[in-house]
Structure 1
Amino acid sequence: MNQSEKLRSLINCSIFAAITAILAQLEIPLPLVPISGQTLAVGMTAIVLGSRLGALSMVCYAAIGAAGLPVFAAFRGGMQVLVGPTGGYIIGFIATAYVTGLILEKTRFTIPMALVANTVGMLITLLFGTIQLKFVMDLEWGAALASGVYPFVIVGLIKAFLASWIGITVRKRLVQANLIADSEKGAA
Structure 2
Amino acid sequence: MEQQRKRLRMLIYSGMFAAVTAVFAQIEIPLPVVPISGQTLAVGITAVILGSRYGAAAMAVYAGLGAAGLPVFAEAKGGLHILAGPTGGYIIGFIAAAFATGWILEKTAFTFRWALAANIAGMLITLLFGTVWLKIVLNVPWDKAMAIGVWPFIAVGLIKAALASWIGVEARRRLVQARLLANERSAA
| Same fold? TM cut 0.5 | yes
CA distance in 1, matches of 2:30, 2:16: 26
Which runs of 5 or more residues in structure 2 are unaligned? none
Q: Which residue of 2 aligns with 1:36?
A: 37
Q: How does 1:1-188 map to 2 (within 5 A)?
A: 2-184=3-185, 186-188=186-188
- Deviation per CA, 1:5-45: give whole Å up to 9, x if none: 22211110011000100000000010110000000000000
SS state at 1:131 partner? helix
- 1:140 CA drift (Å): 0.9
Amino acid at match of 1:36: S
CA RMSD after TM alignment: 0.8
CA distance in 1, matches of 2:37, 2:141: 24
CA distance in 2, matches of 1:182, 1:17: 22
CA distance in 2, matches of 1:56, 1:16: 10
CA distance in 2, matches of 1:59, 1:169: 24
- 1:3 CA drift (Å): 2.7
- 1:4 CA drift (Å): 1.8
Structure-2-length-normalised TM-score? 0.98
Which runs of 5 or more residues in structure 1 are unaligned? none
CA distance in 2, matches of 1:41, 1:182: 21
* Overall identity of the aligned pairs, in %: 64
CA distance in 2, matches of 1:152, 1:48: 24
Amino acid at match of 1:187: A
- 1:174 CA drift (Å): 0.5
Amino acid at match of 1:58: M
Q: List structure 1 runs of 4+ shifted beyond 2 angstroms.
A: none
SS state at 1:80 partner? helix
SS state at 1:90 partner? helix
